[in-house]
Chains A and B, each alone.
Chain A
């Protein structure tokens, strides 16, 4: 029932959300007239786009919906084959295994860095992307790709703590990662199930960098995570959205972009960015090596940087835009929301994930497996299994002997 009410509320809010751009619609600038959009039209070009789920504006039947893909196809005459991935790691595994050809991928910054290091990305010809001029200078030349040779920022956000105000004691300090270790909330805490994010939170709590390669610091983080495991209700990713919305848990780390939607849907929820610093993530558009239609991909990137497209995508996704022009066209209410566009102070303390050396990545994953695997292995499990196996084999033999005797008689 709760779910149904929730779904209804969600529907109403999405409907309502769509009313906002209506007023702004006529003011939105049209696509750049001096760009040769349809130069590849009529050549049967198919563009394979691989993106996160729910990460582009689509037409869901609401009034005045904006279908990004359909608009792009109409404008350029290029056909788009659009598919989704669920995590950076899935994307990486797909590309690494080969056998698939994508022209556009939208990984997060640390995966961009890793892919650059491993030579998995094509350089982008910036002459084909004049819309880079709309970009906020703060999102040009980021640490993971200093010259923007391989990536163009699409959306960004921060990670914070989403909490249920009816379940969390107002006396407690939510602006610290420590609250995720507070025993008062045993079995009321959700945690990220992805090793990098989980370790990131533990490292920040201990005052270390997200990108540490120091084994001692990582061991300490693993110990903290083991300690936390006794309090954690579940290790999840996207499920946080539903579980927090339905009041299943009191506290969870989550992405700011989704927090905007969640706090709007459920007034009991609130969001805080911990003082110790947080993760700033930037999802960027890249062209993987082996892309069949590099030029079409560049046209697509340029299209995604169009202010009009950016505005619609922003309203749809709820994440923050790296484009200065798009920000100007957004409603003041959105731009002034501290969840989506936090103070400079927060951003100054925020840190992006960088690509880690192989040895560190392996260490983190090993430690993470240790953390997760711990509880299941109660000490009596091994002897119990042994006794079971022995009993089974004795049983079989006895049974056989008995049967033989019966047959013999």
Chain B
């Protein structure tokens, strides 16, 4: 009875997940493995050139006889067929994908380096200060994502605040916006809290007595850090990496705003397939699918570290 009730209680979320996560995921898979191909009215597959030729002849005939648009019925019909062509085509965009992964990796590593000491420091603070510091970490997230990135544009521009400051000392102007560095900076700035919070939530569980015990047994500061704190915080590290890497690798808007469109990332490429001129959702889905596989691979590497399968809590 209680079992049934708890199942019922999970119902809304299950329904939500099926409708808005499982179904779209399946749709992406379907799109990725299909394409539209020309067929004739009897259901025979036509070659692209053949179909183009037929349609050209038809059009000429219609125009000659001035057939109104509503009555024009083509002998060629488009049908959806299975194909692996889309997936193979993704290969062409491999450099862009590797570039995105590379940039996301750099951003993730820098985030980790910045966040780790900070999270440790916060977790050793007095309770009230901890709350205060956490709020400071969260504060930027209260502002809209786009607005935050837009603010960086104003800072980094050639006539922006930073260059003006340097200009006072006769330096610059430096080219900061529209570079890879600016894109990575945007990723770090926007996703740093997602690294700090899981690290903090794991570290706050490490009791001070554990550290004191290690010190009593004669461990140096370095070995306390490396042999006690770091191993105990592995779950936080892995979930932090996940939380920064995944949004960084698929971001489109940061590279567009701070990279000036000259550093195309995989997110931009996917966006282009859906909202671009050619409108090719099949290719877009194929790229998304390949990216998903890539992310899964990367995640499995990080998860290998987390043997206890504890998983740091997010937020």
- Expressed in whole angstroms, the minimum distance between the Cβ of B238 and any Cβ of chain A is 12
- The segment out of A56-64, A190-198, A254-262, A343-351 that lies at the interface is A190-198
Smallest Cβ-Cβ distance to A119: which chain B residue: B69
Decide if the interface of chain A is mainly helix, strand, loop or mixed: helix
Q: Which residues of B contact A195 (CB under 8 A)?
A: 276-278
Asked if A116 is an interface residue, CB under 8 A from chain B, the answer is yes
**Is the pair A384, B102 in contact by a Cβ cutoff of 8 Å?**
yes
B residues contacting the other copy or chain, number (CB 8 A): 40
**How long is the Cα–Cα vector from A258 to B279 in the complex, in angstroms?**
28
**Is the pair B96, A246 in contact by a Cβ cutoff of 8 Å?**
no
**Per-position 1/0 for A375-390, Cβ under 8 A of B:** 1110001101100100
- Expressed in whole angstroms, the minimum distance between the Cβ of B146 and any Cβ of chain A is 13
Q: Which residues of B contact A87 (CB under 8 A)?
A: 275
- The segment out of B131-139, B208-216, B243-251, B257-265 that lies at the interface is B257-265
Most buried by B among A194, A365, A400: A365
Smallest Cβ-Cβ distance to B154: which chain A residue: A3
Asked if B314 is an interface residue, CB under 8 A from chain A, the answer is no
**Is the pair B98, A377 in contact by a Cβ cutoff of 8 Å?**
yes
**How long is the Cα–Cα vector from A145 to B247 in the complex, in angstroms?**
44
**How long is the Cα–Cα vector from A359 to B56 in the complex, in angstroms?**
13
Pick the contact of B260: A234, A366, A388 (CB < 8 A).
A234
Q: B residues 82-127 with Cβ under 8 Å of A?
A: 93-96, 98-99, 101-102, 105
Given A236-B261, A376-B95, A377-B95, answer yes or no on A365-B276 (Cβ-Cβ < 8 Å).
yes
Pick the contact of A234: B94, B98, B261 (CB < 8 A).
B261
**Is the pair B260, A233 in contact by a Cβ cutoff of 8 Å?**
yes
Asked if B80 is an interface residue, CB under 8 A from chain A, the answer is no
Asked if A248 is an interface residue, CB under 8 A from chain B, the answer is yes
**Is the pair A248, B158 in contact by a Cβ cutoff of 8 Å?**
yes
- Expressed in whole angstroms, the minimum distance between the Cβ of B204 and any Cβ of chain A is 24
Asked if B50 is an interface residue, CB under 8 A from chain A, the answer is no
Q: B residues 46-90 with Cβ under 8 Å of A?
A: 48, 52, 69
- Interface range on chain A (Cβ under 8 Å from partner): 35 or more
**Is the pair A116, B95 in contact by a Cβ cutoff of 8 Å?**
no
**Is the pair B157, A369 in contact by a Cβ cutoff of 8 Å?**
no
Asked if B288 is an interface residue, CB under 8 A from chain A, the answer is no
Most buried by A among B158, B262, B269: B262
Smallest Cβ-Cβ distance to B55: which chain A residue: A357
**Is the pair B178, A233 in contact by a Cβ cutoff of 8 Å?**
yes
| Interfacial residues, chain B to chain A (CB-CB below 8 A) | 48, 52, 69, 93-96, 98-99, 101-102, 105, 154, 157-159, 175, 177-178, 180, 256, 260-265, 268-269, 272, 274-280, 301, 304-305
Nearest 7 interchain pairs by C-beta:
A234-B260, A377-B95, A235-B261, A365-B278, A376-B99, A372-B264, A373-B96
What are 11 A-to-B residue pairs whose CB atoms are below 8 Å? A92-B279, A93-B274, A193-B256, A196-B277, A233-B260, A248-B158, A365-B280, A372-B262, A373-B93, A384-B102, A385-B102
